[in-house]
Structure 1
Amino acid sequence: MGKIPQGAIPHHCFHVLNVYFRTGHIAVANTIESMDSCRIGWGKIKKVNDNYLIVKTQQLTHQDNKLILSEEIDKTIAFKLLSKSFVNAPQVGDIISYHWGWACDKITPKQAFNLKKYTQACLDIANGLTKLN
């Protein structure tokens, strides 16, 4: 096994956005949907229901032969099952992280900023805008 290339980012999103294409997969709808579900997303809570949150977020999409984050959308995210949750007492306006459609944690604006920053860096690598050595 060779060395990890210079410029690789030790972030889950690097794996999600780059391994698919490096292993011969192509950008088809179900692949993009799986990649979007697997990446760690973030968003602001707009509505709290019994077991679900409506969150303002972005989704991964394929446009002009590039992976990008969409304009903001409303997305339903599960946060509770059998009275158990990783996110205690979510409120409208809270920012959360999510993975595979499940709320993981309340996060700070700085943490959301960093998720966006590193997600964009991983997108740039996947799109060939940043080269790995």
Structure 2
Amino acid sequence: VSGGDDGGLRAMAKEFAGAWPYLELIAHGSGLTDPLDRRVVEAYWVGSPRLDQLGIPAIANSMEDRFRFKSGPQFSSLAEGVLAGGVPHHSFAVFCIYPWVGLLGDDRRAAQALTVLDRCRIRWGRVLSLDGDQVVVESAPLTWDGRRLDYGPPQAETVVRSIGGVGMVQKLEVGDWVSLHWEWVCDKVSERQRRFLRHFTDRHMAIVNEAGAHSGPAAMLG
């Protein structure tokens, strides 16, 4: 959307408090001027080497500005995620910022929390079949054994690529890899992109597993 009429997309993106500050941080830290530059957007949602170019001080300062007042004494648990290697990838927000990991320890809420974590993260799946607006993909869901998050065996699920033929990705074939968010197909991804997505998801899950589930912020901060 750089340099042209974006139909109001930029204004809407700035209102998306869960992602816009991360996009600004990635752009500034990697020498790009536009937070909606394709390379910046890809780094946040999928992953790229740009994320590891950002220094801990820059990420920590951004976290301080956004979350210290909101999270109060729980800010230290958020800061620990940065010190442990967290970077501004969507999986960092899902696993290390949002409160759902903290709810896994509550037997009454664990199932719902696991579902939200699994659906909200950007996951990857391989296309098995296509039928109009719907796609059947095979994807590995998250599991929780009471102590650790992990991936379960791949399962087939039906997701949406469009409504009435209008969607974010049109040309798909059986065998393609796609990125998924909630029940939607986001985009077709290359093998390289899939590896980056898996790499950064694994990194932030490992931070959670090594630290142990904590209470997290009382309200969703992303």
User: TM-score normalised to the size of structure 2?
Assistant: 0.54
Give the aligned residue type for 2:147.
N
Q: CA offset at residue 50 of structure 1?
A: 1.4
Q: CA offset at residue 24 of structure 1?
A: 7.9
Distance across 1 between alignment mates of 2:183 and 2:197: 16
2:137 aligned with 1:55: yes
2:81 aligned with 1:9: no
Q: Corresponding residue for 1:76?
A: 158
Counterparts of residues 1-133 of structure 1 (less than 5 Å): 1=64, 4=79, 5-6=82-83, 7-21=85-99, 25-27=102-104, 28-128=110-210
CA contact (8 A) 1:60 1:69 kept: yes
For the residue of structure 2 that corresponds to 1:33, the secondary structure is: helix
Distance across 2 between alignment mates of 1:89 and 1:66: 37
Bigger helix share: 2
Q: Relative contact order: is structure 1 or structure 2 higher (C-alpha 8 Å, sep ≥ 6)?
A: 1
Distance across 1 between alignment mates of 2:207 and 2:171: 37
Larger Rg: 2
Q: CA offset at residue 49 of structure 1?
A: 1.0
Percent identity for Structure 1 against Structure 2: 27
Q: CA offset at residue 18 of structure 1?
A: 1.9
Q: CA offset at residue 82 of structure 1?
A: 2.1
Give the aligned residue type for 2:182.
W
Distance across 1 between alignment mates of 2:164 and 2:171: 15
Give the aligned residue type for 2:102.
H
Give the aligned residue type for 2:88.
P
CA contact (8 A) 2:86 2:203 kept: no
Gaps of 5+ in 2: 1-63, 69-74, 105-109, 212-222
Distance across 1 between alignment mates of 2:151 and 2:168: 25
CA contact (8 A) 1:20 1:26 kept: no
Q: Find runs of 4+ consecutive structure 1 residues off by over 3 angstroms.
A: 1-5
How many residue pairs are counted as aligned between the two chains?
A: 129
Q: CA RMSD in A?
A: 2.1
Give the aligned residue type for 2:175.
G
For the residue of structure 1 that corresponds to 2:174, the secondary structure is: coil
CA contact (8 A) 2:101 2:113 kept: no
Distance across 2 between alignment mates of 1:91 and 1:127: 36
For the residue of structure 2 that corresponds to 1:42, the secondary structure is: strand
User: TM-score normalised to the size of structure 1?
Assistant: 0.87
For the residue of structure 1 that corresponds to 2:124, the secondary structure is: strand
